[in-house]
Chain A
Amino acid sequence: MSWLLTILVFLPTVGALAVMVAPQGVVKWVAAVFTGVTFLLSFWLYIGPLVHMGFLGPLNNTGGFGTVMSPAWMDASPWIHFTVGSLQLNIDYRLGADGLSIFMLILNAMLSFLAVIGSWHIDKRPREYMALLLILETGVMGVFCAFDLYLFWLFWEVELIPMFLLIAIWGGRRREYAAWKFVLYTIFGSAFMLGGIFLIYFMLGGQTGIYSASFAFLASHQVAGNLLVGGAAISAQLAIFLLLYLGFAIKIPMVPFHTWLPDAHTEAPTAVSVLLAGILLKMGAYGLIRICIDFAPAGAHLFALPLAILGAVNILYGAGCSLVQQDMKRLIAYSSVSHMGFVILGVAAAVGPGATNAAFKEAALTGAAIQMFSHGAITGMLFFCVGVLYEKAHIRDIDVFGGLQARMPRLTWIYTFAAMASLGLPGLSGFVAEYLIYTSVYAIYPAQTIVAASAMIITAGYLLWMIKRSFYGPLNPHWSGIADASILEMAPLVMLGVVVLIVGIYPGWLVDLLRPSLHQIIQNVNGSVAGLHR
């Protein structure tokens, strides 16, 4: 046991306790120190294996950061073992991190740290606010490194409480409505998810005689047979896939389960919006890749075509809705719906038809995973930008501004940078993911890809139109006294900008990090698909 993952997960909780007892004046500093240390520690997840392999190891080595079967990092100990007759409930405390987890953990640690910095201006009960941010970080960390399905579900639910409170207490005018909507939607999904977890656990236990919810076990054994639902036989894997997927789809969010997102984003305080878009949506995408398609590959395969259509619809529908929003945050929230559609599309292609397309499938899944990372960083930037503006103007409606470039040059350029990254400008990370997805998904689902790609026109339209209306043209004299973004406000933006730029110019390292994990998933999918067609 290496303890690193345990520390990463629970250090923020310790931080939350420290924040609760710290003197009033240093509350924000304590939170910053704890998230900062977590952030620095999280780098060891990446650097540790690199050092172990010799620094340039993974570039030529497909072992690298391990797979879900043998992750580079593992903390495990037995936890709950409960047997009544033939009913066995085995829940282990099992944390693991392979390439797919590592980069989400680092992203989470980074965004949580930046969220604390970006919340420096919070005056309303800062102690509770910071404590909740830290508990949220614990919950999300747990989701990304839980390697036991029950533990995963536990962390999935843990994250809900701080998020609910953060929106409901520190939110905007309709904060309670938004918070309730968020919670009801998520709980609705997680109920189905729990059903899916029970189904896979007990069916697999019944079929193999081993009752285990460990990821390594679930990834190497697949449920067989059919289920009778209302007299009709459907593939058990399809049932599992659909139950789990419903929970994840709401989080991603997938049309038509997306309407909680614009409300939650609009009402949430800036830093919470950043975390919501940057991390919480990724939990859904992560679950889809890590759990749905790896543990129920045949089921995913059967649902691939609807998934691809839903992905394309997501992309276009989100983009269209963004075009007509008045509120900047709402606009960006809908753009998240649109961009997360790329993850769905990439995953759909990865489990899609065509045995000869293995290379394209792996590229599609890589694109989907990179999109998770890149969308997290870019949307984080966009929300921070709106946050800076809102902090000064107390309003976010696009049309009330105009010509702000004259007074806020710094914000103008960083906002333009973020918008360009979001619309997929080459050299920035958004392009990497989108281009990978386009070039690979087209081999499997050409029509859906064309529909998805047509959104690139609308995306450019809504983002740059927003920039044009707020920052270009003659200065609206009401804002002639507005100050530019301060150094403190620029810091998180610049940091994320650098990440976006590095990934955009040389995405190779990220692909190398992900390769073994994703390769295992693709093999799993191809293997069980071949079995399905035999």
Chain B
Amino acid sequence: MSFFVTDIWVIPALPLLAFLLNILVLRPFFDLSNRDKGHAAEAAAAHGAQGHGANTAAGHDEAHGNVGDPEQHDIGHAEASPDDAYVRALDTLDGHIDTPAAIPRALRTAEKTPGGYALVQLVEDAEQHPHHPHGSPTIWARINGYMGILFMGLAFLWSLGLLVALMQNPALQRGETVPIYTWISVAGLRYPIDFYVDSLTAIMLVIVTAISLLVQFYSQAYIEGEEPRGYSRFFAWLSIFSLSMLLLVLSSNFLLIYMGWELVGLSSYLLIGFLAKDAAKPEAGRPSPGAAALKAFVVNRVGDFGFLIGILILFTATGTFVFTDIPARLGPINLALLTVAMILVFCGAVGKSAQFPLHVWLPDAMEGPTPVSALIHAAKMVAAGVYLVARTFPLFHLAGPQALTVVAYIGGFTAIFAASIALVQIDVKRILAYSTISQLGYMFVGLGVADTIGPGIFHLMTHAFFKALLFLGSGGVLLAVSMNQDMRKMGGLATRIPLVAFPFLLATLSISGFPFFAGFFSKDEIIAQTWEHGDYILYAMTLATAFLTAFYMFRLWFLTFGGKGGKFGGLWGGEYRGTVAVKKPDFRVWLPLMILAVPSVFAGFWGWSSVGGNFNAFITGHPLTPAFANPFTSPLTIFGVGASLLGIALAWGMYGLQVVPRNVFVSNPLGRGFATVLWNKYYIDEIYLAFVRYVVMGLSKVASFFIDRRIIDGIINGAGSGVVAFGRGLRRSESGRLQNYGAAIFGGTLVIAAVFFAVVYFGK
């Protein structure tokens, strides 16, 4: 057996080592201690700004020329006359520090008033405005970055070696368990931490390490531009993210995959909330990073809850966690129970892969730095759900057909549902987020209908490349236009940042399913599979989604990079609507994009058996039936390509050539109403919020403030006052007279004797 397989622990060990060296050695002892001491002076300045907040903040505002944002000035004016409530609150605080009850209410009132918020915001801005970062990472922080990149590069090489070894040796492709250690062993139940390597693992390892490597390389520039102070920490979190995902991918059992699963949740929590100091931007419909991180974690936990119950059913029925052991040990398990278990396992995938109805966290997760979005969307978090279904596919097969039907229909519905929301959004990253949700839907359709994991995983792979490119590209755009995400302030960027625009265009073509691009092969394969298996509803859904995808992606392209006056009918360049000067990105930004463009264009040929090989045969050991040998002999492909081209043409007509009026769909009340619903994302966030606020919190308040405080404590306090009254009465017995005490002692002894006698008597 190849050492690439037997020593597979090297791959997760590398990011672990990078993380430990970063967090335990380089960051505390070198990076932090070598930071410039400007921090203390700055803190003092901020402290002073409390009193003279108005001047400092306003001065700051003008100095940096935040034009084009009138609200900013309004806040400045409101701030110039500090809110009285707030000043009062400060006085209260400084004066009576020991009366805690009085403070919070005063502070809370202050925060609720607009002035209170404004002051908080502006002092913070004056201090560390995220868009005007000062300082740069120390050399040690940079070394942390280099180390992360180096170690991830080694992990990538190891994965590549593994993939090659598996390709050369088909015997290895069918799977090999690599034991690591026994976590717990109790009364014959074993909780193993073991790895499992087969061709699915190898493909996933290559995807994960490749995307991680490129994203880490790219992050150097991005984090330097967005949050230089967090440079080391960011790379530490990236390493722990890679570690979690690699553990998940390598696991041989439900225990380790669940651990990796939760750790991925942790990493995403840390990374989404990375820009912790930022406030919410309600005017742009954006939550604060902290809120987004919280939401991501909790929504994922809803899915994990289902996943856990699924694991429990399987484990208690078979006594093992190991994927390959479960089928044999299932025995005469109730088919309905297995079906339920697998649907519950799929619940976990719904959470992580952001499928309806648990998709709500993913658009908000855009509040993380853009490289994180790229990681979450392309190779890590969301891929985990698809991977889980693929990994447990034999069990889905054993279960009743309902299980895979649920998978396919949740996927199909999510695909069209998310694509429809993406149609009307104006935030670059949010459109890409909804497109991810939609594309993941495709993958689940592929897994659900195809009887094999090939098409789903194939789309996972191509999507990983082009979606990573799209996100890193959008990050390049944000760097160029000073972190403004609103497409209405972009336009014509293709001629201004061509090195970002060119790969971005290739990825847009790929995701739109333009012929011969990677996305075309993988997506049309899934569409064709729905038809081959006679599922015409899903066929219609996926075909319609292909049209919508092409439309919204090219809408994004034209609004961002093209527009009126550009070359080729508005495709390349045009009018720029923004106000900030466009900055050219450096090579650390565009080089990863160029590299990613290669697989985004060519990876699809692996699925075209007469040209590039047979992906499905590598993954599953069997070529896909019916063979997707030549897409051009299949009449189905014509429809897929047609839908895609139609979408591109419509977007071109509306936003590029501008021959189709922009308001063609919203000129009638029905269209306007529908657009409003889409703009508000079908009001799902609001429904969930209402449920949490009124049902969950309401019941909790009843429990805490009524049952506990009133009923239980009422009884206790009542009993307590009784005791006190009794004690008052008893006090009279302390008379000081000896004969009284003597009587009491005698009486007490009698009582004790009686009790003993009773106990002994009844005891027999």
Contacts and interface: CB of A to CB of B under 8 A. Distances in A.
A203 interface: yes
Contacts of A453: 305, 308-309, 312
Nearest to A395: B100
Given A202-B759, A443-B316, A480 B46 contact: yes
Interface string A164-204: 00000000010000001100110000000000001100110
Nearest to B48: A480
Interface stretch (B69-77, B181-189, B467-475, B679-687): B181-189
A474 B266 contact: no
A406 B128 CA distance: 10
B288 A394 contact: no
Nearest to A204: B763
Interface in B266-295: 266, 269-270, 273, 276-280, 288-291, 293-294
Given A206-B764, A259-B712, A436-B184, A400 B108 contact: yes
A199 B763 contact: yes
A160 to B, nearest CB: 16
Contact of A468 (B101, B294, B312): B294
A395 B103 contact: yes
Contacts of A321: 700, 703-704, 708
A511 B186 contact: yes
Contacts of B89: 478
A224 to B, nearest CB: 12
29 contacts: A173-B101, A184-B723, A198-B759, A320-B699, A320-B703, A321-B708, A323-B700, A324-B697, A324-B705, A360-B189, A399-B107, A399-B108, A400-B104, A403-B120, A426-B259, A427-B263, A439-B312, A442-B313, A442-B315, A446-B312, A457-B305, A464-B269, A468-B291, A475-B124, A477-B49, A477-B53, A508-B182, A515-B186, A522-B187
A203 B98 CA distance: 56
Interface string B698-730: 011101110110001100100110010000000
Nearest to B98: A394
A527 interface: no
Contact of A478 (B93, B288, B297): B93
B287 to A, nearest CB: 10
Interface in B638-685: none
A180 B720 contact: yes
A362 B187 CA distance: 7
Interface string B561-591: 0000000000000000000000000000000
Given A400-B104, A436-B184, A475-B127, 12 more contacts: A185-B716, A259-B713, A320-B704, A396-B100, A399-B111, A402-B111, A406-B277, A456-B308, A460-B297, A471-B276, A478-B90, A519-B187
A475 B700 CA distance: 29
Contacts of B103: 395, 397, 400
B43 A480 contact: yes
B123 interface: yes
B762 interface: yes
Q: Secondary structure at chain B's binding surface: helix, strand, loop or mixed?
A: helix
Contacts of B31: none
A464 B293 CA distance: 9
Interface string A420-449: 100011110001100110111011001001
A270 interface: no
Contacts of B298: 457, 460-461, 464
A80 to B, nearest CB: 15
B630 to A, nearest CB: 47
A474 B124 contact: yes
Contacts of B720: 180-181, 184
Contact of B104 (A399, A439, A473, A480): A399
B700 A324 contact: yes
Given A403-B277, A473-B276, A508-B183, A438 B312 contact: yes
A325 interface: yes
B47 interface: yes
B60 interface: no
B305 A363 contact: no
Given A259-B708, A402-B120, A473-B276, A480 B47 contact: yes
Interface residues of B, number: 92
Contact of A475 (B104, B120, B290, B309): B120
Which one of A436, A461, A515 has the highest number of Cβ atoms from chain B below 10 Å of its Cβ?
A: A461
Nearest to A337: B708
Contacts of A205: 763
Given A199-B759, A321-B700, A473-B288, A481 B100 contact: no
A228 interface: yes
A260 B717 CA distance: 11
A3 interface: no
A403 B50 CA distance: 16
Nearest to B128: A406
Contacts of A460: 297-298, 301
A173 B102 CA distance: 13
Nearest to B288: A473
A317 interface: yes
Interface string B222-266: 000000000000000000000000000000000100111011001
A358 B187 contact: yes
B554 to A, nearest CB: 37
A359 B124 contact: no
A472 B288 contact: yes
B301 A457 contact: yes
Contacts of B699: 320
A310 to B, nearest CB: 15
A405 B93 contact: no
B304 interface: yes
Contact of B315 (A180, A320, A358, A439): A439
Which one of B98, B100, B111, B128 has the highest number of Cβ atoms from chain A below 10 Å of its Cβ?
A: B100
B263 A425 contact: yes
Interface in B87-128: 89-90, 93, 97-98, 100-101, 103-104, 107-108, 111, 119-121, 123-124, 127-128
A474 B277 contact: yes
B696 A400 contact: no
Nearest to A477: B123
A4 interface: no
